[in-house]
């Protein structure tokens, strides 16, 4: 018993400390998933030993007490929290408890809503006018943030009048204030440029933006809000279900999440969970789960509350985007331009459904900015398809760690490592003699968006380099079937296929070829721009930085890298050798003859031969206009593989649709395409 009492106190103190960091400082020290685990442990212990529940236990309160910068106001009705469910079993139990308490075996009707990852606010409307807005605070009273809430464009200052109906004397409308993913990126990008504080996630950024003393700052952050419920109401009969209340709010002009659905039975809730989970990465805002609410208000009343949460609702949480783990070691990877990138080897941990064991640390400046040591416990985050990254170090847990240092010699070829002037990056000086640089260069050259050599995967490149078959990119085009079939695991057929794919790659575009060369800072877009403006690659051999900067979007840094690359004899020789082995591209000359002038094209689906940009360029060069959406004035829709709804629209408007074959025919008919 003593043991449990100690643990309960320890958990209470720890969670209260985290509540302060989270709610007041907007800077949590541990991931939400870890917080949830601590809270669960405390809840379970308190369930077993109810006599040990203290009045200041975080299970009895919501959030944390306000910081004191803002005026505080009591809510008309307390703002409660939600019970969390993590598994199907948790939801089955939730449903069972409800059916038992209501003494029914009928399926329950639930209102299913996305659980937005922002912060709860309470907006009080007097006779339809927004007069007061507060944060949730500790659930009983919150901070007055009316001036800041009013900067949110979609929040009505006056509710819209419904003809023949009057407004309640007082109504508290509740909802979630949040930042879109795009706004979050923008704010952090700007903060980075100014050297200001970076927010760990959109929720902290939203909280930080809302709790500003200067409303002009809040206005610049472009917050959003969805309404999801009602608190105190005076002199008004609300509709009898959660869903119809939301419909009323919508009529009053309050934004409601469009993903909200009404379903019958818990199984349909689980289907809803899966559907929203599948959509999660494509939604423009962060959600951390879904909420199921018993729809019928009469049933809600019957069910009532337990401590800080209603019995009639549950949050079904998604796998967390953030977790904590330990850095076991840091290794340095050598990229194709020789830059050494520090990579953390992590104790494997499941983050939003995938096991993560590595995370890039970007560069040494990032390491010192985040103060990362080997042996540290860190919060790692993997949102959507984004590469996992280390958000921050959990300093409280630091013990016996050591600093990360850049090696003096390349871990692959042992050549000296030097710092690139004016940059955070360090580079191996081994050049093409460094196996890692050669390998990465070839992998990039062969990749789908570059020369697109089908079947030449990473493993094969490594094998060719290790066997000494390839010492330069150009050696690829001298490979012979007889050399390949001598290699391990290479059958005649696969050798033939690879040689055929290498051969096929010879027919390309200038943009792809320039991109494939792997010039520093020259991505696909810049490569295509260069190709468009410099029809003859030889012109690049002695071009000046000034001339390059005449090209739109080419700045001084990129221009410098391009000149650096093409002025080197070894690169000029490489290009000549590649052209000699048969690499060629259609000549796009700026022509005065524009046979497609006045015609408008729309592209949809994937073409086999050209990327969308390349196809647009070809058409535009012939005088055509390329637009994004089909209208009556569209001349042709060009449809590749898996076209979108544009095809249907074309059909409805009677616009002619060309497949890839017909498109290529049209191009060759102009006789400018060879």
Catalytic residue numbers read 115
How near is the Cβ of 664 to ligand IVH at its closest, in Å?
A: 51
By CB under 6 A, residue 417 contacts ligand IVH: no
Window 559 to 618, contacts with ligand IVH (CB under 6 A): none
Q: 145 vs 313, which CB is nearer to ligand IVH? A: 313
Of 18, 73, 75, 115, the residue at the interface with ligand IVH (CB under 6 A) is 115
By CB under 6 A, residue 81 contacts ligand IVH: yes
By CB under 6 A, residue 116 contacts ligand IVH: yes
By CB under 6 A, residue 31 contacts ligand IVH: no
Window 292 to 311, contacts with ligand IVH (CB under 6 A): 310
Please state, in angstroms and rounded to a whole number, the distance separating the CA atoms of residues 456 and 498.
7
Please state, in angstroms and rounded to a whole number, the distance separating the CA atoms of residues 162 and 587.
65
Residue found by looking up tokens 């009529």 in the block? 251
DSSP annotation of 344: E
Q: 116 vs 531, which CB is nearer to ligand IVH? A: 116
Number of residues that bind ligand IVH (CB under 6 A): 15
Residue 211: closest CA among 122, 135, 123, 116 = 135
Q: 46 vs 113, which CB is nearer to ligand IVH? A: 113
Q: Does residue 148 sit in helix, strand or coil?
A: helix
Q: Which part of the chain contacts ligand IVH (CB under 6 A), choosing from 79-87, 207-215, 497-505, 620-628?
A: 79-87
Q: Which part of the chain contacts ligand IVH (CB under 6 A), choosing from 74-82, 392-400, 440-448, 615-623?
A: 74-82
Q: 314 vs 460, which CB is nearer to ligand IVH? A: 314
Determine phi and psi for 150, rounding to 5 degrees: -65, -15
Q: 116 vs 672, which CB is nearer to ligand IVH? A: 116
**Closest CB to ligand IVH: residue number:** 120
Q: Which part of the chain contacts ligand IVH (CB under 6 A), choosing from 75-83, 245-253, 462-470, 517-525?
A: 75-83
Residue 601: closest CA among 612, 613, 616, 621 = 616
By CB under 6 A, residue 22 contacts ligand IVH: no
Q: Which tokens sit at 466?
A: 């290790």
Output helix, strand, coil percentages for the chain, rounded to the nearest 5.
40, 20, 40
Helix ranges (DSSP H) in 581-670: 612-621, 646-653, 660-669
Residue 257: closest CA among 229, 230, 231, 278 = 229
Q: 82 vs 254, which CB is nearer to ligand IVH? A: 82
Neighbouring CB atoms inside 10 A of 673's CB total 15
By CB under 6 A, residue 113 contacts ligand IVH: yes
Contacts of 87 (CB under 8 A, 6+ apart): none
Q: Which tokens sit at 530?
A: 């260069």
Phi-psi domain of 323 (left: phi exceeds 0; alpha: psi -120 through 50; beta: other): beta
Instruction: Note whether 499 and 517 are within 8 A (CB).
Output: no
How near is the Cβ of 305 to ligand IVH at its closest, in Å?
A: 8
How near is the Cβ of 229 to ligand IVH at its closest, in Å?
A: 5
Of 82, 171, 456, 650, the residue at the interface with ligand IVH (CB under 6 A) is 82
How near is the Cβ of 256 to ligand IVH at its closest, in Å?
A: 10
Q: Which part of the chain contacts ligand IVH (CB under 6 A), choosing from 80-88, 263-271, 592-600, 646-654?
A: 80-88
Q: Does residue 71 sit in helix, strand or coil?
A: coil
Q: 37 vs 580, which CB is nearer to ligand IVH? A: 37
Of 205, 223, 245, 313, the residue at the interface with ligand IVH (CB under 6 A) is 313
Contacts of 657 (CB under 8 A, 6+ apart): 636, 637, 638, 639, 647, 650, 651
Cα four-point dihedral sign 564, 566, 569, 570: positive
Q: 298 vs 584, which CB is nearer to ligand IVH? A: 298
- Show the binding pattern over residues 257-296: x = contacts ligand IVH (CB under 6 A), - = does not: ----------------------------------x-----
How near is the Cβ of 291 to ligand IVH at its closest, in Å?
A: 4
How near is the Cβ of 259 to ligand IVH at its closest, in Å?
A: 10
Q: Which tokens sit at 73?
A: 């106001």
DSSP annotation of 606: B
How near is the Cβ of 107 to ligand IVH at its closest, in Å?
A: 21
How near is the Cβ of 285 to ligand IVH at its closest, in Å?
A: 11
Q: Which CA distances in Å does 81 have to 60, 67, 137, 230, 314? A: 10, 20, 11, 14, 9
Q: 310 vs 375, which CB is nearer to ligand IVH? A: 310
By CB under 6 A, residue 145 contacts ligand IVH: no
Contacts of 580 (CB under 8 A, 6+ apart): none
How near is the Cβ of 158 to ligand IVH at its closest, in Å?
A: 24
How near is the Cβ of 115 to ligand IVH at its closest, in Å?
A: 4
Q: 113 vs 660, which CB is nearer to ligand IVH? A: 113
Window 175 to 204, contacts with ligand IVH (CB under 6 A): 176
Q: Which CA distances in Å does 52 have to 3, 40, 138, 308, 472? A: 12, 15, 22, 17, 72
Q: Does residue 634 sit in helix, strand or coil?
A: coil
- In this structure, the strands spanning 354-360 and 129-135 are unpaired
Length of the chain: 674
Residue 451: closest CA among 411, 505, 396 = 505
How near is the Cβ of 650 to ligand IVH at its closest, in Å?
A: 40
Determine phi and psi for 590, rounding to 5 degrees: -60, 115
By CB under 6 A, residue 228 contacts ligand IVH: yes
By CB under 6 A, residue 229 contacts ligand IVH: yes
- In this structure, the strands spanning 377-381 and 322-334 are antiparallel
Residues that bind ligand IVH (CB under 6 A): 80-82, 113, 115-116, 120, 136, 176, 228-229, 291, 310, 313, 315
């Amino acid at each position: 018993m003593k043991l449990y009492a100690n643990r309960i106190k320890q958990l209470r103190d720890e969670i209260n400390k985290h509540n302060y960091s989270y709610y007041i400082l907007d800077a949590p020290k541990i991931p939400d998933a870890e917080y949830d685990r601590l809270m669960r442990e405390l809840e379970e212990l308190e369930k077993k030993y109810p006599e040990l529940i203290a009045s200041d236990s975080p299970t009895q309160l919501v959030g944390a007490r306000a910081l004191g910068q803002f005026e505080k106001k009591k809510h008309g009705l307390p703002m409660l929290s939600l019970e969390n469910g993590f598994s199907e079993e948790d939801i089955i139990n939730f449903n069972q408890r409800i059916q038992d308490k209501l003494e029914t075996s009928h399926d329950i009707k639930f209102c299913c809503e996305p659980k937005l990852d922002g912060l709860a606010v309470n907006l009080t409307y007097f006779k339809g006018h927004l007069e007061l807005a507060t944060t949730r605070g500790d659930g009983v009273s919150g901070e007055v943030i009316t001036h800041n809430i009013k900067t949110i464009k979609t929040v009505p200052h006056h509710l819209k009048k419904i003809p023949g109906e009057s407004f309640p004397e007082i109504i508290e409308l509740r909802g979630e204030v949040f930042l879109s993913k795009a706004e979050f990126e923008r704010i952090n990008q700007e903060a980075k440029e100014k050297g200001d504080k970076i927010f760990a996630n959109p929720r902290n950024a939203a909280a930080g933006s809302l709790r500003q003393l200067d409303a002009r700052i809040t206005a610049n952050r472009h917050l959003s809000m969805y309404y999801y419920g009602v608190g105190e109401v005076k002199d008004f009969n609300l509709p009898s279900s959660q869903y119809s209340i939301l419909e009323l709010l919508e009529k009053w002009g309050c934004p409601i999440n469009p993903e909200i659905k009404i379903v019958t039975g818990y199984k349909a809730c689980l289907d809803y969970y899966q559907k929203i989970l599948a959509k999660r990465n494509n939604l423009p805002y962060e959600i951390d789960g879904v909420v199921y609410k018993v729809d019928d208000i009469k049933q809600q009343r019957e069910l009532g509350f337990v401590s800080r949460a209603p019995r009639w609702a549950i949050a079904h949480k998604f796998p967390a985007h953030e977790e904590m783990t330990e850095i076991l070691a840091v290794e340095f990877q050598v990229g194709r331009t020789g830059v050494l990138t520090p990579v953390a080897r992590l104790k494997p941990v499941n983050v939003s459904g995938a096991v993560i064991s590595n995370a890039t640390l970007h560069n040494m400046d990032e390491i010192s900015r985040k103060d990362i040591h080997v042996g540290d416990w860190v919060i790692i985050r993997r949102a959507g398809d984004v590469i996992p990254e280390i958000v921050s170090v959990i300093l409280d847990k630091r013990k016996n760690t050591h600093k990360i240092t850049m090696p003096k010699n390349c871990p692959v070829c042992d050549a000296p490592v030097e710092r690139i002037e004016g940059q955070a990056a360090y580079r191996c000086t081994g050049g093409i003699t460094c196996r890692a640089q050669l390998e990465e260069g070839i992998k990039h050259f062969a990749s789908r968006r570059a020369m697109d050599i089908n079947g030449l995967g990473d493993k094969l490149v490594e094998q060719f380099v290790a066997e000494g078959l390839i010492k330069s990119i150009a050696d690829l085009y001298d490979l012979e079937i007889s050399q390949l079939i001598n290699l391990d695991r290479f059958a005649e057929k696969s050798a033939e296929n690879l040689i055929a794919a290498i051969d096929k790659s010879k027919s390309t575009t200038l943009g792809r070829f320039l991109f494939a060369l792997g010039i520093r800072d020259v991505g696909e877009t810049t490569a295509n721009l260069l190709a468009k403006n410099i029809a003859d690659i030889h012109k690049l051999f002695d071009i000046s930085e000034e001339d390059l900067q005449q090209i739109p979007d080419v700045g001084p840094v990129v221009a410098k890298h391009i000149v650096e690359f093409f002025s080197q004899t070894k690169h000029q020789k490489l290009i000549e050798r590649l052209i000699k082995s048969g690499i060629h591209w259609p000549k796009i000359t700026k022509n005065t003859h524009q046979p497609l002038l006045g015609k408008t094209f729309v592209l949809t689906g994937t073409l086999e031969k050209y990327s969308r940009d390349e196809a647009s360029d070809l058409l535009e060069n012939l005088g055509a206009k390329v637009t994004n959406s089909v209208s009556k004035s569209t001349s042709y829709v060009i449809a590749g593989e898996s076209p979108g709804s544009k095809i249907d629209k074309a059909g409805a408007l009677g616009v002619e649709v060309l497949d890839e074959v017909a498109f290529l025919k049209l191009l060759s008919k102009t006789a400018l395409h060879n």
